[in-house]
Amino acid sequence: MDWGKYMIFPLNRSEFMKNTEIENMAEKWFEANINDVNANWFDLLRFKTVGTDLAYLDECRKCVAWLEDWLAANGFSIETLGPKEAPQIIYAVRKGESDGTALFYGHYDVQPADVEEGWNTDPWEPVIENGRVYARGAQDNKGQVWASLQSIKACIDSGVPLPDLKIVLEGQEESGSDQLIILLEKEPERFKADVVIVCDTSMMEGYRPVIIAGLRGVSSISLRLDGPDYDLHSGSHGGLAPNPATVLAKMVSGMFNQDGSIAVEGFLDEVKPPTEAEINLAMSEPFDEIAYKAETGVLPTGGTIGVPPEIRGALLPTIDVNGFHSGYGGPGGKTIIPAYAEVKLSMRTVSGQDPHKCIDSVRKHFESRVPDGMRISVADSFPGKPAFKVAVDSPFVIKARQILSAMHPDGCAIKYDGASIHVVGTLSEISEGDTVLAGFGLSEDRIHGANESFSFKQFKMCFDYTVKFLSEIGKEI
């Protein structure tokens, strides 16, 4: 395939970027190698690396072997870490030519995908349409990982001095990074670095780069409320038997005050309110409600009434219903009182909150409201890692912002993100270095959903940034 016709460069480079020697090198290398870059990217996307489903474990193993072969061919020493009964961790090291140590983190696992979920094409066979590659993992995170790896290869092939490199690629990010977190705490010396580089976040609309100043933590819990021994006839038992769906719905509703704020006792006790500096930073980039409605179909009216969306979407905790099931959901009607009801909840936590205590407070909320004769049980719970904040005044963040600002006429924004990457806080702490969170996703990529995609333009932006940042790291030591 002739990939040259798909090369779409970010914005107007001659206007917004200085024509440096490094940039000239990167441009020449990319043009010369675009066929291999993209053909191999497509091969990587074909691996069905659904890390949450052991039915795909063999696909994960094949992907690991493929990535390890590529890394070894480019001068890395490789170790495969973690139990073989789970998607394993790739740990690759290369001795550099300049000062410092950089650790790059990414993940090869992806969300499940089936054509029946609304995909227009086979999610495991990449296709190109309007300058975009459509496939599961095209953006999250294989696209950004592959663009970053290509930047490393470009520097190696072109003789650009690089710092010592440690590459950590895992297969359980989408399910909590359990094995990597265990490894981090067990063998911390492996992960020492001056800077941790993460490309697993997004830009603002219009391709404006963003450095993430902080992420919320995420935890989850699923509960089941049992009532009658079996589904009851609603005519014979209506007004007599308690209805699990109705009771559970009231319990869920009781988690919130009239203004939308969280009412769960104890959940907010340890919240550290955002500082004035953090509020000012969050408010420095105005929230576009019209654009949000165009993207999602709804206005940003969730959360606490009266709090600006810039704050409640990133710096305040949340509890969200991810799923609620009870009774009959098929065609037509079925007049029953269901035997049970289930709810799945996720929590986004902020500074000061202990995920275990948050889970416990939610569990107690439900247990304290069970009527006589009914039973509540926890189906599963996942207390994730706490919220994480970046040192935005570190020399590495400053350097990254300078590089990214040159890629857009409005410069590079710094903002808080309400999402979570489970392992980043632990990785940052264990590494004892600074962390730079700068990714190249956009809302239209539709990660985790049907028809996920990543444009060649975004891919090239990720490549350009990483080349320049890696070449500058030694100067910041």
Residue 16 has pLDDT above 50, yes or no: no
- Provide mean pLDDT across the span 29-58: 97
Residue 20: per-residue pLDDT: 80
Q: What is the per-residue pLDDT across 74-94, written as a single tens digit (0 to 9) for each?
A: 999 999 999 999 999 999 999
CA nearest to 145, candidates 86, 206, 33, 67: 67
| Token representation of residue 183 | 């490894």
pLDDT above 90 coverage of the chain, percent:
92
Domain boundaries, the chain: 3-215+387-476, 217-268+317-382
Q: What is the per-residue pLDDT across 148-167, written as a single tens digit (0 to 9) for each?
A: 999 999 999 999 999 999 99
DSSP string, 107-126: E--B----GGGT-SS-TTS-
| Token representation of residue 259 | 């203004």
Phi, psi torsion values for 87, nearest 5 degrees: -55, 125
Helix (H) / strand (E) containing 466: helix 456-472
| Token representation of residue 107 | 């993940």
Residue 10 has pLDDT above 60, yes or no: no
358: left (phi over 0), alpha (psi -120 to 50) or beta: alpha
Residue 6 has pLDDT above 70, yes or no: no
Burial class for 327, CB neighbours closer than 10 Å (0-12, 13-18, 19+): middle
Q: What is the per-residue pLDDT across 170-217, written as a single tens digit (0 to 9) for each?
A: 999 999 899 999 999 999 999 999 999 999 999 999 999 999 999 999
Residue 268: per-residue pLDDT: 98
- CATH fold, domain 3-215+387-476, is Aminopeptidase (3.40.630)
Residue 17 has pLDDT above 70, yes or no: no
Residue 295: per-residue pLDDT: 86
Q: How many CB atoms lie within 10 A of CB 75?
A: 14
Burial class for 354, CB neighbours closer than 10 Å (0-12, 13-18, 19+): middle
- Provide mean pLDDT across the span 446-471: 97
* Type of residue found at 10: P
Quote the CA–CA distance of 252 and 246 in Å, as a whole number: 10
pTM more than 0.85: yes
pLDDT band at 342 (very low <50, low <70, confident <90, very high): very high
pLDDT band at 239 (very low <50, low <70, confident <90, very high): very high
Name, in order, each residue with C-beta under 8 angstroms of 421's C-beta and a sequence gap of 6 or more: 173, 198, 200, 201, 215
Quote the CA–CA distance of 327 and 158 in Å, as a whole number: 63
C-beta separation of 44 from 63 below 8 A: yes
Residue 463: per-residue pLDDT: 98
- CATH fold, domain 217-268+317-382, is Alpha-Beta Plaits (3.30.70)
**Tokens 């219009």 -> residue:** 206
Residue 1: per-residue pLDDT: 46
Quote the CA–CA distance of 106 and 199 in Å, as a whole number: 7
Q: For residues 203-232, b (16+ Cβ closer than 10 Å) or e, as one string?
A: bbeebbbbbbbbbbbbbbbbbbbbbbeebb
- Provide mean pLDDT across the span 89-118: 96
